Structure formats: C-alpha cells, structure tokens
Structure 1
C-alpha cells in the first residue's frame, strides 16, 4: 500500500528499503514537481533516444559484422525485436515511475538498495566505457578530414578533445544539451538516408558474400554478431534515464522510447543492407570506413569519404553529448538516495556537474590506456564489456516489470497479457546477450561488478554508522 504523502525527490530512502513510491511524487500527476523544471518535450526526448542510439555504431556496423557473413542480418533482426521489447518495457516502467534514473529507479523500487546500486553501477560503467570507445572510433573518421593518426599522441589528444567538448556543453546546462542533440540528429540523417535509401538502387546480391562466413554454427554466429551489434543499440533507455527532465514524463518517455528505437532500427536496417549490397564482402571485411566505400561505389570519386567522415563526426559528437548527460544522471539519482557518494548530487542548471566531470575523466583515462596499449583486440573487448554491463541494468529493469506484473502492481491490468509477453521477450533477450558477449567480456564485466560490491559495502557501512550515531545522540 503506497503512501499518499508528498516525499521530496531529494530525500534518501532508509537503508535497505525500496525507493519512494510513484504516488509519493505528489500532486502533479505527471511527476513534474521536481526541484528542476523539465525542459525536454517529446521531440527533444525522441531526438535524445535516436541521437544516442544512432551514434558512431552505424558508421562502423557493417564492417564489424561482415566477418560473420549475411547471417549477421538475422542477428540484426533478432536484436531489433529485442530492442523494441526493451523500449516497450521502459515505457511501461516510466509510466509507473517517471523519475530520473531509469533502470536504477525501477530496480531499487522493486528490489531495494542493493539491486538499485548494481543497476546504477553497471549502467554508469557502460556510459563512460562507451564514451571512450566512441571517441576512439571518431578519430578514425577525423583522420579523413585532418591527418591525426600519423602519431599516437596526436590521435589520443584528438580523442580527448572529442570527449571534453560535449562535456563543456553539458556544463552549460540541459537547454544547451537539448539544442546540440536536435541539431546533430537532424544533420546526421541527411547522409545516412542517402546511403540507406540511395544504396538500394545500387544493390547487387552477388556482393553479399557467404551466409555464414565464420567457423561457428549459425546460432553461434548470430549470438556473437548480436553481442557486437548491441553496442550500436545502446541508448534505448535514454528517455527513461532522463525522465526527470522530460515534460509529461508518464506519457512522453514511453512514446519517445518506442518512436526513437523504431526509427533508429529502420535506419540501421536499410543502411546495413545497402552497404552489404554495394561493397564486395572481401573488401568490406577489411574496411575502416564502410559507408565511405559504399558512397564511392554508388557515385564514384573520393568525395564520399570526406562527406561521410564529416557526417560520422557530427553523429558521434551528438552521441557523446547525450551519453555524457546520461552518464551523470544515474549516479546523481543513486547519490540522492545515499547509494553513491553525495558529491554526485551537485547540480548546475539542471546538470549533475560532478557526475559529468568524473565520467569524462574516467573515459579520458580509458582512452589514453587504449592508445598506449596499441591493440585493436583491447578495443573490441571493451565494446563487448559494454554489452555485458548494459545488459545487467536491462535485465534488472525487466525483472522489475515482471515483479509488478506477477504481484498485480502493474499500472494497467487490462494490458496484462500483452505486457507479460513483451516482458518475457525482453528478459530472454537480455540473458541471450549476456551469453553472446563471450567469456573474456563477461569475465572483465564481472570484475567491474565485484569492485562495485566493495564500494557498496563501504557506503552502506558509513550510512549505518551515521544512523547509529544519530540514535545514540540524546
């Protein structure tokens, strides 16, 4: 039974208890009574989802899955179905609890502090590791415009600049984040649609290559390809994580999530299919700029490489802009509830500045490590680590929805059957992705989680000590 009183969002819940109930968000039925006014409407929230999903991934996607053959297109279809299922689950959860934090809020409200912490910790790792990976990938396209890859440290400095510029935009406030997101989303779709739609007119089935080009079974190839592809789909939860900044969040978060995910999936499918059908398979496997190769095949000349490189930089900058905000929102929500250090609660113009700063520093250190190692295998493992760490909060959020459905706490019982089927698909999808990430990625991902368990133990002990001292003081 929920409390009917008003509980401020900034008030931490007692240790070991679930988060405040949705009805405790008070008189505003849309959850708009937070300390900071919401500035994101449906268009910006949708752009945030699409902009974060369609980042650097689409420009690297065809070449990364080409070694598996056209069986990877099957993985693409399965992944799209799973991503849409996750989007629908996030929409239903946000309708029930429209607070900032996304999977963290849902897991904590259903299962308590420890589950919420694991969701927040895993998601936070995902965001800053993804930022490092995107920055490193963006340097490859920047090199087409300005030679920066001739020297390792020049490339490293370029990658660091690509991370810090979006961070500075975030420090300026959420209004500027939304403006950058809208502009970058609009600009990136012009060249993407050119390849996705125009490439179909140059499609040649003989260029597709073998169905299963690797030495794995078809099922194994689909799982392995899907694990890589998930990196390109990260961001499906963007609107839910930033729900505290969305106007009419109960209604707009779900709509923005589904519309943004479906739009991104359509662009991905058409774009990948067009590149597969325009660039010969043996050439695509070794390509470092598959969309540039596709445009050159379509129209001839070398101008395509420059145009697509510019589009890729715009896309990745917009993606880094949105991910930087998301990387700070989850630790902010957890710190507000006493599960992260209290410094993460500091905000300026609606942006958790400490979270942005810590995240960009960690991503920068990881970027420097990547360049010092000089190994492409390390980069690939990092991408797969994000698959594992992202799946943890996805699975916890899906489990929260299962909890609400089974316990009869769902918002709309008339949709019980439909929501149950969608949630089952999302749960199976999340577990399947964990398996497809591979042993090395799961191993490193589990190590990250175990470090988080130690952090949680320290914070919980400090919280308990303060409560004990407060009781002892007369």
Structure 2
C-alpha cells in the first residue's frame, strides 16, 4: 500500500494546461530561432507557405483529437493504426515513431550545445563539448525517471520561460516594424508555386510534435476531452508564435542582412533595442526551448514502445512503468541517443549525422499517414459514433486534408531521406517477425496448457 501511495505521489496525470504545454513545447524546439533566415532567400512569399502549413497542421491536430476521443489510450498513432489495420501497421507506426524520437533527441542536444557555447565558451574543446551534449540529454531523462509529476512541472516551466523572449520579439517587434526591411515578395527566380513549395520544404518540419498529447493519452486526465483540446490549442499557440516571430524578424532586420544571418532573433533584438545583449538572451531562450523539447520528447519516445510492448509487439521489458513513466523505454532511448551523439563527435561524421536527422523527418510522417488513414477507415466503414451527417462530412474532409498534409511532409523529406528511411522501416520488419513468432509461440503454449487443464469427459 505504501508503495502504491509513493507511485501515485510521483505519477500524476496531466491536466489540460500541462498537456497543451507538452504539445507546444515539443512542436517548438530550436528551429524557430533559425527559420526566418532559412526562408528569407525566398522572400516574404514564405509567409504564405507558413499559412498553408498551419492549416494542414491544425487539420492534423483536429484528426488526432477525434481519434483520441475514439481511442483514449497511450500510444497515439500506434493505437489508431493497429485498431484500423492490425498488428503490422501498428508496429510500423511504433517503430518509425521510436526512431524519430531518439535520433531527434541526439540532434536537439547537439544543437543546444551551440547555444550553450554563446553563454559559456567551450573553446572548441571536443571532450568538453561532448560532455555538455550528454549532460543536456541526461537531465531531461532524470526528470522522466522522477515521474510524470516532475515531467509535467518541467515542461510547464520550460514552456513559460522560453515563450517570454519569443513573445518579446514576436509582439515587441511589431512596434519596430519597418516595411522597407521586408525586401521583395518573391526573391528567388522560381515561380510563385515553386517558391511556396521550396520554402514549405524547409518550414514543414517545424510542426512535428502535434501528436504529443495523443501519444501520452494514458497520462492525460479525461483524455477523451482534453487530448483533442490540448492538441488544437498547442498547435494554434505554436503557429501564432511561429508566424508573429517570423514576421517580426522580417520587419526588423533588413532583408539583405537576414539572408546571411546565423542568428536572426539576435539580430532582431539588437535592431529593436540596440547593443549586443540580444545574443545572450536568444541563447538562453534557445537552450531552455531545447531542454523543454527534450523533456517532452524523452517521455514520448518511451510511450509508443510501452503501448506496443503491452500488445506483444515490442519486447516486454518496455512495458514496465515506474512512477507513471516507462523507465526502460526512457533509458534505452537516452542511451541510443547518447551513443549517436558520441559517434557524431568522435567520428567527425557531420554528413552522416545530418543524413540521419533528415531521415527522421520521413519516419515521423509514417505514423501521421497511418493515423489519418485510420480515421478515414473508421469514417468510411461506418465505425463512427457521430450521428450528424454534417459532422461526418466535416471529419472526412479534415482527415483527407490531414492525409494530404502528411504526404507533403514525406515529399519535403527529399528522395535520399525517403530511400534511407524505408531501409530503417525494413529493418523493423525483422524485429516484427521475431516478436510475432514469439507471440504466436506463447499463444500456442497457453492453448496447449488450457487443453490439458480441461477435464476429460466420460
């Protein structure tokens, strides 16, 4: 009894505010601090691409909300794909999502070290830099080991702290806005459609994480109600920050300078208030942002394998929970991410590391495609609790729009990333074959034992 009380004290379900912070914190990692400079070469037409992507991301968020109401269980896309299409589709969703999580965690930690170097000069010392990257990975893991109560607290605090400076630029920048800084509407030689697609190929990765509340539905209080709300509110909140922040930077930093900027938000703060203190402010915001994202992604990286393990599709050890957290999944994820980080720093394989990170942009969309296809299946097969035809039609349109958005994500990953990502998925097929065989053997043993236990009739 005492142990149960201890577990409940550290394992607390997330309410709507924390679930919303989880979504916003995972969507907004460190990319926001580089996005304005990344799309500046295309001109202000990139803001149009941002708008299109926002519509797609909100559609995807609404679909996840509907699916979570139907199946309010931990696992998110894995649960939806398995319910609609069976074990193999569910496993592919879980496997690809897991790959995305731990490779992305390594990338976030490496990127965070770059901002840490602004605050505490590391002097290009490879050993010190590696140690810093590993510490940045393990701190959020320790918060996860402490229990969901602490995960939620860290996520809420990190989200509030990182949004303060972001909103300073996003809102304050509007008061310093100068239309002459915007530059041309279309700065590249491409057609309007080509410029929108090209800028979208950079921007579309910024919305990964809309599924965060759905994946952790089992840890959300009243998931049938709160998961959908948190997903939509978190996505809209992130979209507002993205759009206002990018617009403010465009309007405060001259276009010719922004194109070559390595720290656009720093340049915006310096232009707004003068001085050079903006670099430290943005570095702090970026570091907090990435720690918050790592905190949330570390939990998510363990939740999908946990759900799959409970169904016999992942090793059973992943189904163990302590203080509300699948601690084995957290440990395996942080170890794999740490090994990848060590490889990156010691082998000097920058190109290989960046290729792996790009692969995650493909592997992240596999669960999206399967989840939205599951919603289309539920609606088309009559497995809907909705009685209103208008509501049914609206959900169908949203599901098709979200599916198209997910396909756009795949296309934006690039041919090389899709090719290599498919190889990662095929490697998972071998794991599935092994787990399915073990599961079948256990079922056969159970059936044999049950047959022997039956009384023999006279």
Q: Which runs of 5+ in 1 are unaligned?
A: 1-33
Deviation at 1:472, TM superposition (A): 4.2
1:120 is the counterpart of 2:94: yes
Task: Determine if contact 1:227/1:384 at 8 Å carries over to the other structure.
Answer: no
Q: Give 1:94's match in structure 2, choosing from 68, 71, 88.
A: 68
Deviation at 1:323, TM superposition (A): 0.7
1:347 is the counterpart of 2:347: no
Q: What residue in structure 2 maps to residue 180 of structure 1?
A: 154
1:418-429 pair list within 5 angstroms: 418-429=394-405
Q: What residue in structure 2 maps to residue 447 of structure 1?
A: 423
1:317-356 pair list within 5 angstroms: 317-356=291-330
Q: What residue in structure 2 maps to residue 284 of structure 1?
A: 258
Q: Give 1:157's match in structure 2, choosing from 131, 152, 156.
A: 131
Task: Determine if contact 2:379/2:392 at 8 Å carries over to the other structure.
Answer: yes
Q: Give 2:104's match in structure 1, choosing from 122, 125, 130.
A: 130
TM-score by length of 1: 0.88
Distance 1:70 1:376 in 2: 31
| TM-aligned CA distance change 1:227 to 1:373, over 3 Å | farther
Task: Determine if contact 1:38/1:244 at 8 Å carries over to the other structure.
Answer: no
Deviation at 1:215, TM superposition (A): 5.8
RMSD value over aligned CA atoms? 2.0
Distance 1:144 1:49 in 2: 28
Distance 1:47 1:127 in 2: 18
SS state at 2:75 partner: coil
Distance 1:455 1:68 in 2: 43
Distance 2:75 2:106 in 1: 22
Deviation at 1:455, TM superposition (A): 0.9
Task: Determine if contact 1:56/1:232 at 8 Å carries over to the other structure.
Answer: no
Distance 1:235 1:196 in 2: 21
Deviation at 1:380, TM superposition (A): 4.5
TM-score by length of 2: 0.91
1:69-468 pair list within 5 angstroms: 69-148=43-122, 150-214=124-188, 217-372=191-346, 374=348, 377-378=351-352, 380-414=354-388, 415-468=391-444
| TM-aligned CA distance change 1:196 to 1:238, over 3 Å | same
| TM-aligned CA distance change 1:133 to 1:216, over 3 Å | farther
Q: Please say which of residues 47-56 and 177-186 is displaced more in the overlay.
A: 47-56
Q: Please say which of residues 256-265 and 405-414 is displaced more in the overlay.
A: 405-414
| 1:186-222 deviation line (CA, Å, top 9, x unaligned) | 1111111110011122223333344444565543443
Q: Which runs of 5+ in 2 are unaligned?
A: 1-7, 453-458
| 1:307-340 deviation line (CA, Å, top 9, x unaligned) | 1111111111111101100110000000010011
Deviation at 1:278, TM superposition (A): 1.8
Q: Give 1:55's match in structure 2, choosing from 29, 41, 61.
A: 29
| TM-aligned CA distance change 1:447 to 1:237, over 3 Å | same
Task: Determine if contact 2:97/2:363 at 8 Å carries over to the other structure.
Answer: yes
Deviation at 1:466, TM superposition (A): 2.5
When Rg is computed on C-alpha atoms for both structures, the one with the higher figure is 2
Task: Determine if contact 1:230/1:387 at 8 Å carries over to the other structure.
Answer: no
Distance 1:249 1:446 in 2: 33
Distance 1:173 1:37 in 2: 5
Q: What residue in structure 2 maps to residue 24 of structure 1?
A: none
1:16-27 pair list within 5 angstroms: none
Deviation at 1:443, TM superposition (A): 1.4
Distance 2:179 2:350 in 1: 31
Task: Determine if contact 1:139/1:148 at 8 Å carries over to the other structure.
Answer: no
Q: What residue in structure 2 maps to residue 29 of structure 1?
A: none
Between Structure 1 and Structure 2, which shows a larger proportion of helix residues? Answer: 2
Distance 1:388 1:471 in 2: 41
Count of aligned positions: 440
SS state at 1:123 partner: helix
| 1:150-209 deviation line (CA, Å, top 9, x unaligned) | 223322221111111000000000000001011111111111111001112222333334
Task: Determine if contact 2:362/2:413 at 8 Å carries over to the other structure.
Answer: yes
Q: Please say which of residues 278-287 and 358-367 is displaced more in the overlay.
A: 278-287
Deviation at 1:280, TM superposition (A): 2.7
| 1:246-266 deviation line (CA, Å, top 9, x unaligned) | 111100111111111101100
Task: Determine if contact 1:223/1:433 at 8 Å carries over to the other structure.
Answer: no
SS state at 1:148 partner: coil
Deviation at 1:374, TM superposition (A): 4.2
Distance 2:218 2:254 in 1: 47
Distance 2:132 2:430 in 1: 35
